[in-house]
Amino acid sequence: MSHEILTPQEMGEADRLAMQCGPFDGYGLMRNAGAAIVALVLERFADGRQFDVLCGPGNNGGDGYVVARLLAEAGAAVRIWAEGKPREGGDAALAAADCPVSALPLDGFSPAEGTVVIDALYGAGLSKPLSETAARVARAVAEQGVPVVAVDLPSGLSGQTGKPLGEAFSAKLTVTFARKKPGHLLEPGRSLCGEIRVVDIGIADAVIARIGTRAYENLPELWLQEFPVADVDTYKYRRGHVGVFAGGPTATGAARLAAMAAARSGSGAVTVLSPTRSLAVNGAHLTSIMLRKADTIDEVLDFLRARKPQTLVYGPGLGPEPDVGNFLLDLLGAIDGAPRSMVIDADGITSTALQADAFFAALHREGAPEVVLTPHEGEFHRMFKEISENPDLSKLDKARNAAVRANAVVVYKGPDTVIASPDGRAAINSNGTPLLATAGSGDVLGGICAGLLAQAMPAFEAACAAVWMHAAAASHFGPGLIAEDLPESLCPVLRDVLARRGL
């Protein structure tokens, strides 16, 4: 599967195994990398008057020496600017020795109009800030606005976290090898990378499989085989029933957005569970969505016994008051195997944050439903404060730790949404769009996820699919999007997903 993500440490192990297995040694892999980079550089920047290759002392710099040699052989004007010398006897030293272009000291480099910078200083394994010289060069390149092609990852960026370690280059094109790293997908790394191209340098899929990574880019290939397809003889309740809790009279819209999204994503029946004081306003707005009074825990349990929903949505529009959290804890304590899943979002998270230990204990209890939590940054911090404030953890690490702590699938929302399962699997979403920065879009996401869960899609795959479809629907609609547009915009996305299944 080409959607695996490798940490810098895992990529190092993949290099080692690839050299061990052959047919390429380390220098052979380096030559393959350089050739792939040059092919893309000449394709994208054929009109470049000057190519300035910045080389570090390690293997990233070695790639740069190969790039400089191949560009010179192609007749391009090339200069090399080096920071440090490659270790004697290493692959980078072999590449430097084979390169006919003499290296100049990096501290003499100044970008000029018409040049293309090849950043081969430091790759994804960098763990400390750039030197003062390299940082100055990064600033000068940014100020001049010349295009940068980054080898593996823009120098100064952490391949583990996607965060700059100080000053960092910003690339128009990033060329990486075998698989993406977390830093390519986690912000601000994703933005600093520009266009990302993954190239084959001779590391076989079987080698990647031996690494045993459990992190992925969230693409349809990750969850497509689990995506629900209705049988020819199905009926509405067999397609799944979702119950959505609604709030007070002035905050009912959130539940209705979630309910409509659950229906659009394929659930055959959706019921809004409304307090008495909100029945009239909900009834005035609902047509295909059913409505039921639910003021007390007993009324909710009666609904569960009578209508047997597969999934509940709790949180949108309920308010952050302690009573909302208490009601959720009582409900979780009363559920014993049915419904089989819940999506807890928004106020459902905030209202229980002050009693997080009791909440987590309820989610670990035998017979508890499978839960998907969908916090944005603020809600994540309130619920998982210690994890959130740990500066050593990437967003990927934080989501994974939170999933284990809560015994739930965690959808840590943002421009680089991370989906993590308590079993260690995780995915970073890559089709996010700022169009989703609009009130109510998170309620729609919760509804999509619930609709897929109700159709018996496994929780991790359902959450991944919901996140991807949510963003795809927004991009399909385009500028002017508001949350009400999202459920209907799911229709072409669903057609595309089912077409990928061959249906």
Q: How confident is the model over 325-380, as pLDDT tens digits?
A: 999 999 999 999 899 999 999 999 999 999 999 999 999 999 999 999 999 999 99
Structural domain boundaries in the chain: 8-213, 234-500
pLDDT band at 66 (very low <50, low <70, confident <90, very high): very high
CATH architecture group of domain 8-213: 3-Layer(aba) Sandwich (3.40)
What's the 3-state SS for 479-500?
CCCCHHHHHHHHHHHHHHHHHH
Average pLDDT, the chain: 97
pLDDT band at 24 (very low <50, low <70, confident <90, very high): very high
| Average pLDDT value for residue range 211-239 | 92
Looking at the predicted structure, is the pLDDT value of residue 500 above 70? yes
Pick from 411, 292, 270: nearest CA to 345: 411
Pick from 291, 184, 183, 305: nearest CA to 243: 291
With b for 16 or more beta-carbon neighbours within 10 A and e for fewer, the 150-169 pattern comes to bbbbbbbbbbbbbbbbebbb
d(CA 158, CA 142): 19
Contact 240, 267 (CB under 8 A): yes
pLDDT in tens, 444-456: 999 999 999 999 9
Give me the torsion for CA of 57, 63, 66, 68, rounded to 10°: -80
| Average pLDDT value for residue range 5-24 | 96
pLDDT at 405: 98
CATH architecture group of domain 234-500: 3-Layer(aba) Sandwich (3.40)
Location of structure tokens 């539940």: 255
Contact 267, 288 (CB under 8 A): no
d(CA 290, CA 278): 14
Q: How many CB atoms lie within 10 A of CB 378?
A: 11
pLDDT in tens, 379-400: 999 999 999 999 999 999 999 9
Pick from 349, 371, 370, 327: nearest CA to 442: 349
**Helices and strands (H, E) in the chain, number of each type:** 21, 17
Location of structure tokens 């963003």: 471
Looking at the predicted structure, is the pLDDT value of residue 1 above 70? no
Q: In what order do the strands lie in the sheet with 50-55?
A: 103-105, 78-82, 50-55, 115-120, 148-151, 173-177, 195-199
pLDDT in tens, 27-36: 999 999 999 9
pTM confidence score: 0.96
pLDDT band at 231 (very low <50, low <70, confident <90, very high): confident
d(CA 343, CA 413): 14
Looking at the predicted structure, is the pLDDT value of residue 105 above 80? yes
d(CA 359, CA 345): 14
Give me the torsion for CA of 252, 255, 261, 265, rounded to 10°: -150
pLDDT at 234: 84
pLDDT-above-90 percentage for the chain: 96
pLDDT in tens, 299-309: 999 999 999 99
| Average pLDDT value for residue range 15-28 | 96
pLDDT at 162: 97
pLDDT at 456: 97
pLDDT-above-70 percentage for the chain: 100
pLDDT band at 291 (very low <50, low <70, confident <90, very high): very high
pLDDT at 2: 77
What is the DSSP pairing of strand 418-420 with strand 409-412? antiparallel
pLDDT in tens, 157-211: 999 999 999 999 999 999 999 999 999 999 999 999 999 999 999 999 999 999 9
pLDDT at 465: 98
Looking at the predicted structure, is the pLDDT value of residue 469 above 90? yes
d(CA 39, CA 67): 10
pLDDT at 208: 96
